[in-house]
Structures are given as C-alpha cells and as structure tokens.
Amino acid sequence: MRSPATYNRSTVSHDDDALTHAIRRQEERLARDPGSLAFAQLADLYRKAGRTREAAALCRDGLARYPPYTTARLILAKALATEGDLEAALTELAAILETSPNDVPCHRLAAEIHRRRGRLDEAVAHLEAAVRLDAGDRESRALLGLLRATPPAGETSGLARVLGDDTFATVAFGTLCLEQSCLEEAAQTFTKILRKDPANRAAREGLELTLHARQRRKG
C-alpha cells in the first residue's frame, strides 16, 4: 500500500500533467482560430498553473476585441489579485458589476480583495450581496459573520465577551487568540482593529492567517 505522502505526490503529479495537457490543447485551439473566445479558457488555465502574468496579458488582448466578455474580465481580475495588484483587480470587478450587478463570483472576489485591503465595510457589502443572490452560499454567510464580528446569540464565549472592551483590541491579543486556535475571537479582534485603522498591516495579515487557519480546520 502506498503511503499518504506517496499518494499525494502521485495525485499532484497527475493533476499537473492534466493541466499541462489542457493548456496544450487550448493553445492549439487558439492557434487555429486566433479570433475565438478560447483565449479566456486558456487564460484561466494559465492562471491555475501559476502563469498569472501570461493570463493577464492574454485577457487584456482578448478584451480589446471583446470588451463585454465578463468571464474574461473576471479571470483578469483573479490574475491581477494573485499578482498583488489589488486596485487594478477592483477596477475590473467594478466594470463587471456596472453591467452585471448580480454576478455572484464577482461579489465574492470583490469581498476578498476589500478584506485583504482592510476595507471591511466594503467587504461586508459584497458578501451581503452574494448571500442575497445565492441563499445557498454558506461560505460567504460564514465569512459575513466573522467580518461583522457578531457571534450567534447564545454562543458568545467568555473570551468573546472580554473583547467587548477595546483594551483587548490589539494585534498581540489577536495573535494570542490565533495561537490558541480561538479563531472566532481572533477574527473579532483583528476586524475590530481594522474598522478603526484599515491600513494596519499587522491586523490585515492576522485576519488573513485566521481565515486560512479556519479553512484548514474545515479540511
């Protein structure tokens, strides 16, 4: 029997091979018909392969021919966000929402980017839109609860009640909560700091680490 590590390596290798094959097929398709919409699929494959600059360049070239193609614009926004160009990504998302205000994936990505920038009110607004448009979006609903820092009625821990005192709204206390795996309390601490100081880099990083830890806990 293969060990879990061997199995994981085999799975990753298989996935990489499949992605490489898919990229090759799309490149050939686009080469046969350079004016087709296949550029968006290829750009998304580039993005998934970590070739984000190529993905962005391909999207921009295609959008110069097909400006209304919102799928390609969303892929461009994702590539830009991965590259760390968050404001440019938001510009692309704003262009999508101007014509397609009910685009749920767009709202989700906008929420993520605003959150990474420390702009929690904007992130909450986009999450509220996502939940309103897709009642089954449990992940957005859960994130909304964390960013609002409002634990469900009857589930407020003693530690959460302590956080009602601004004295404990510090990066050090949030980090301590995170280290002790008190993720809801850590999120509440970091969001409280960010509502007062969106530019607080340590709080932004702490919140992202908390959300990643939450995702790992969910498996």
**Tell me, what's the pLDDT at 189?**
92
Question: C-alpha 186: how far from its chain's center?
Answer: 19
- Helix intervals (H) in 66-200: 70-83, 86-99, 104-116, 120-133, 138-148, 158-162, 171-179, 183-196
Each residue's pLDDT tens digit, 190-209: 999 999 999 999 999 999 99
What pLDDT is stored for residue 75 in this prediction?
98
Dihedral sign from CA coordinates of 193, 203, 84, 146: negative
pLDDT given for residue 158 in this prediction = 54
Secondary-structure percent of the chain, ordered helix, strand, coil, rounded to 5: 75, 0, 25
| Residue appearing with tokens 């939940």 | 131
DSSP secondary-structure letter at 165?
S
Handedness of CA 125, 109, 41, 218 (dihedral sign): negative
Residue whose token pair is 């685009």: 103
| Rg of the chain (C-alpha set) | 20
Question: Residue 215: what pLDDT?
Answer: 87
Closest CA to 188 of 216, 161, 155, 154: 161
Per-residue model confidence as pLDDT tens digits over 129-171: 999 999 999 999 999 988 985 554 554 555 555 555 666 789 9
Residue 17 is predicted with a pLDDT of: 87
Split the chain (219 residues) into runs of 10 and give each run's mean pLDDT. 50 77 94 93 96 97 95 97 96 96 97 96 96 95 83 52 68 94 91 93 96 87
